[in-house]
Structure 1
Amino acid sequence: MTIDGCTFLTGFERFLEENRADAAWIDRIADAFEQAGGVGSLTNAAIGGVTDDELVRDVQRLFATGLTPTEVAAMWTDLGLTKEDAPDLALLPTSVLTVLGNLEGAPYWARSAANVAVLDRRIASAQHFLDDLDRPDRVYSAAARKDAADLSALESIKASLNPNGRKGPRTLTVLSADHPPLAAVSIGDLDEATNVTWAVPGMGANTCSMTDWTDAAQNVYSEQAKAVPLGRGSTNAAVAWMGYEAPPVPPASAAVFGSDFAKAGGEKLAASIMGLDATRAVTMPTVNVLGHSYGTTTASYALTTEGVHVDSFTAIASAGIPDSIHGADEIHADAVYAGQAEVVKPIIEHWSGDEWAAVGRDFSTDHHQDPTAPEFGATSFGADGDPGLEPVRYHGVHTWYGGGYLDENTQSLQNVAYATTGQPELLTK
């Protein structure tokens, strides 16, 4: 299909510059073709569906400036859309889906439908760009070029949506326009679960390794299912929340010793938690936050934000709770738990315990506090092994040899599951 001498997809940007009046219509048709794989043809019915402005206008009303998540949730209810409408939502223009996929107050099934559609389009755009690098006649947008640079992150997010035979449906509840993108993958039904856990990663985390963090969250999800007694009627969801920019690993940067990244990330996490409160207001679940390493610093800022309150906060391998928080009672959680493996010397005693958490605390500028210290006031639990359970032998959460804080068959993972399912009496010391 050719319009004004430009191929329909590759000459898209040039054509829009020349014909702005038709931009909205073409955006929707291009998206429909891209959904179809960029080849072949579309039926008149399919084209009619994406050129009908009514659904677009209905959804865009949710984007009005100043709306709270609670107001968005109420307006969504008035729309009357259900999960059966997900295929229609996925055909909306990319500009609409990008906002909808990250809109607090919208149901998570709709956000996932939007985000997966955008993810697929960004991957296709990046691949087209890379395939055509030797074709100077091809015209691509700046966004396509950036997506090509982010292709490994986009593909890792896509791969993280595949459960590989493990239990629990997966949904993409965050996909930002950042480069590389931020993301969040939920294991379990975030719209229906009676127990929700946000898992917040630490330094060096980014979506290029989204599959690793999602695997760790999957371990939490699976262990929680084992920890809840039969007949209690509880269903759970664990959110692999890569929704903030984490500081790089030293020596690339010393930012992990400060709190700039944690404060910015804390604002985003707080918004996500308040979004859950609005979306699930009628059937409010138990809400837990699990932080690892610098993720505990980030979560602490979120959980001291006005209007934020959760049922539990669990810190593992903490890189330090902010000095401005004087104890567990200042964190907006009904219960605060903390786990720390044996502190060992960096490099010298590698793979025999946690060699980095204490370094993060001791050399920080403003987050020195160890949440496992008795004076902090949290309930501490063991991570150094127990009969039948493995010890933590590394600072990370998920390792190839099974020694991370959230690896299967570790004392740490079992205790995290007990802490995040309201069973503190089962924690091992």
Structure 2
Amino acid sequence: MTADPLAGDPAAVTKLSRALADRQDDLRTGATTVARAADDAADWEGASKDRFSATVGTIAPAAQRIIGRLDAAIDVLGTYADEVQRIQDEAERIRASQLTTAMDSAITALSLSAAKLAVSAKDATDADARQARRLQSDADDLAATASRLDAEWDALVRRRATADRAASAGLSATDVLGVAPSYSGTLGRMSDADFLAAVAGMPPEVLAAQDRSVGDRLAGMPPETVQAWWDGLGGRGSAGEHSAAQDALITALPAVIGNLNGVPYWARDQANRLSAQRACAQASGALRDAQDKYGKAVGRAAQAAAQRELISAQERYDQLKNFSAGARTQLDLVDQVPRQMITFHDGAPPLGAFSVGDLDTADGVSFLVPGMGSSLADTTQYMRAGANVLATQQQVGADTAIVSWIGYEAPPNAASTGNLGVLGETYADRGASKLASDLVAFRAVRPDAQLNVIAHSYGSTTTALTLARNPDLGVHSFVTLGSAGIPSSVPDAAATHADHMYAAQAAEKGDIAYIGRKYSFPHRLDPADGFDGVTRIDTTGTHRVNIHGLTAGQGSGDRGYLDIGTPTLSDVAEVTQP
């Protein structure tokens, strides 16, 4: 046996048990506070009240389930601590007895050896013989005692192993975990229908405990399968119209539900906000650590490494902070509309998309695809540009939404980084599959809505490949603004499969779009110059566009493609309006 009866700290196990009991008290207090908040909202009316009540109604049962599981864990830990303490007390007694027996045996062995020498001497007496016999008897008794103590120790080893196994089994039991240990493996062997039913029936805390394979399997299902499943959970609607099962999935698997094609956007929004909030908090902590590390770095090499780490941490934090700020940044709209964080991928770099307008109900939806140098750090900038289109459409009563889609890794800004990736198609090729996935997802839940894509700069390169490779997206209008060029594999507007294609190309300061096309490899085409099937959008007039950006800074005297007052803005709003 290998179990050590003296191993472990029963006092520490008891301390853990007490900590779990304290957590139970915290849960009871929290559940009481939530219930009190529900009582305080008794006079609150409307869909938001229904939504709040439905969510609050799940808190007390969930808290009670967890408290019950903590009770079971506390019982297991208490029993284990007591048994280990008893085993250790007995082990210490045995060890002390073994030590005493060993010392007595050594002394007896020396005395017996001397007595045997005396007996063998010529002058030996009967007394010497009697002494030798007595010492031999003592040695035999001590050997028997040692053998008995060894047997008692082996029994204690087995007893400790039994206690360890019992504690492990108890802490792995359904009463503690809330789900059988084999359940996750069972999920993998289920049919899609049974798997979806099982996942929908799990309490949030159990669902959150499942391994990554559950989320991966959900993400791999066709959007129409996911949509039918989600609809069957109790409702697709907005506030007050969804079920406890849907809320549980959002809470337990935010990174999965937030990007799950086929799930309506109100649910994806809630899930992605949870994920983005957690990611931003983590990035803030990582930034503080990097700052501290840089401040303590000694030596040129260490300082250089710490500085690189600090720059990376700062960039990531800035991206996530600005993306999260999309929920509250001020937008100049005629009517305020919901905002939805429709995708969020916490990678390197982090990617995401934010809608201004309700994607679950809007008659028309436009995806705004940015170009070179864009990242989540520019989210609010793109949302403000998109809001100009939305506000123009609102003036005529249109019910529309616009998505700032920063869902691909755009090529770095060539001027500031020296990276010439914008001249090639690698970034566009990788981004095209991501854009296609999100457009397919939209079509899965909104088959009858008008879908448009407004693409700026290198975003038009990415979008052209996307639309050419996916002929069934049903895009109404594809609009390019300051295009970095359409790949030669997309020779004309018809190849994009959009009902209409429009292009705006201004006389830009710095000729940024022109340079991107001229030096592209393979060479890309200018959609605003002789591209068959394209309608050109005007950028001239009193408020002519004169820079490459979508918007210009206030007071600069410049105007971007979607600045207020430009003919480009009014034309883009018109051609993407249902």
Residue 44 and residue 292 in structure 1: after superposition, are their counterparts in 2 closer, same or farther (change >3 A)? Answer: same
Q: 1:126 to 1:248 in 2, by over 3 A?
A: closer
Instruction: Give the drift of 1:88.
Output: 8.0
Question: What's the CA shift for 1:185?
Answer: 0.4
Q: Deviations over 1:10-36 (max 9, x none)?
A: xxxxxxxxxxxxxxxxxxx9xx99xx9
In structure 2, how many angstroms separate the alpha carbons of the residues matched to 1:288 and 1:193? Answer: 12
- Determine which of 336, 341, 359 is the counterpart of 2:515: 359
Contact 1:258–1:365 (8 Å) recurs in 2: yes
- 3-state DSSP class of the match of 2:544? coil
Give 1:266's aligned amino acid: A
Q: How does 1:315-334 map to 2 (within 5 A)?
A: 315-334=480-499
Q: Equivalences for 1:184-223 in 2 at 5 Å?
A: 184-223=353-392
Give the structure 1 partner of residue 460 of structure 2.
296
Letter in 2 for 1:238: I
2:564 corresponds to 1:408: yes
The structure with more radius of gyration: 2
**8 Å contact from structure 1 (residues 94, 118) kept in 2:** no
Shift of 1:343: 5.0
- Structure 1 contact 196–236 (Cα < 8 Å) conserved: yes
Q: 1:343, 1:211 → 2: CA distance?
A: 23
Equivalent residue of 2:284, what SS? helix
2:262 is the alignment partner of 1:105: yes
Secondary structure at 1:79 match in 2:
coil
Determine if the alignment matches structure 1 residue 54 to structure 2 residue 225.
no
Judge conservation of contact 2:504–2:539 (CA < 8 Å) in 1.
yes
* Distance in 2 between residues matched to 1:259 and 1:381, nearest whole Å: 25
Distance 2:407 2:524 in 1: 24
Match of residue 318 from structure 2: 152
Alpha-carbon distance, 1:219 to partner: 1.3
Is the Cα contact below 8 Å between 2:250 and 2:257 reproduced in 1?
A: no
More helix by share: 2
Contact 2:545 2:561 in 1 (8 A): yes
SS, match of residue 304 in structure 1 = helix
Q: What number of residue pairs does the alignment pair up? A: 360
Query: 1:196: how far off?
Result: 0.5
The answer to whether residue 73 in structure 2 is matched with residue 73 in structure 1 is: no
Find the counterpart in structure 2 of residue 259 from structure 1.
425
Q: Which residue of 2 aligns with 1:121?
A: 278
What do the CA deviations read for 1:74-122 (whole angstroms, capped 9, x no partner)?
A: 1111111443349986776877210111111110000000000111122
The CA deviation at 1:62 is 9.1
Give the Å deviation of 1:308.
2.7
1:340: which partner in 2?
505
Q: Would you say the 8 A contact 2:349–2:409 is kept in 1?
A: no
Normalising by structure 1, report the TM-score: 0.75
Query: What is the rounded CA distance, in whole Å, between the counterparts of 2:228 and 2:250 in structure 1?
Result: 23
Do 1:105 and 1:278's aligned partners in 2 also have CA atoms closer than 8 Å? yes
Q: How many percent identity over aligned positions? A: 34
Q: Distance in 1 between matches of 2:388 and 2:564?
A: 7
**Per the alignment, do residues 125 and 375 of structure 1 end up closer, same or farther by CA in structure 2, a change over 3 Å counting?**
closer
Structure 2, unpaired ranges of 5+? 1-11, 17-26, 35-58, 67-177, 179-200, 294-311
- Amino acid in structure 2 at the alignment position of 1:152: D
Q: Decide whether aligned partners of structure 1 residues 420 and 48 sit closer, same or farther in structure 2, where only a CA change above 3 A counts.
A: farther
Report the residue type matching 1:319 in the other structure: A
Secondary structure of the 2:521 match is coil
Distance 1:165 1:177, change over 3 A: closer
Q: What CA RMSD, in Å, does the superposition of the two structures yield over aligned residues?
A: 3.4
Matches within 5 A, 1:165-244: 166=332, 167-226=336-395, 228=396, 230=397, 234-244=398-408
Which residue of structure 2 aligns with residue 16 of structure 1?
none
String of CA shifts for 1:224-263, please: whole Å, max 9, x gaps.
223x4x5xxx410100000111000114211100001111
Could you tell me how far 1:128 is from its partner in structure 2?
Answer: 4.2
**Once structures 1 and 2 are overlaid, which stretch shifts more, 45-54 or 120-129?**
45-54
User: What TM-score does the superposition give when structure 2 sets the normalisation length?
Assistant: 0.57
Question: Does the 8 Å contact 1:259/1:367 carry over to 2?
Answer: no
Paired residue for 2:330?
164
Going from structure 1 to structure 2, the CA distance change for 1:131 and 1:71 (only over 3 Å counts) comes to same
Cα drift, residue 53 of structure 1? 3.0
By relative contact order (CA 8 Å, sep 6+), the higher-ranking structure is 1
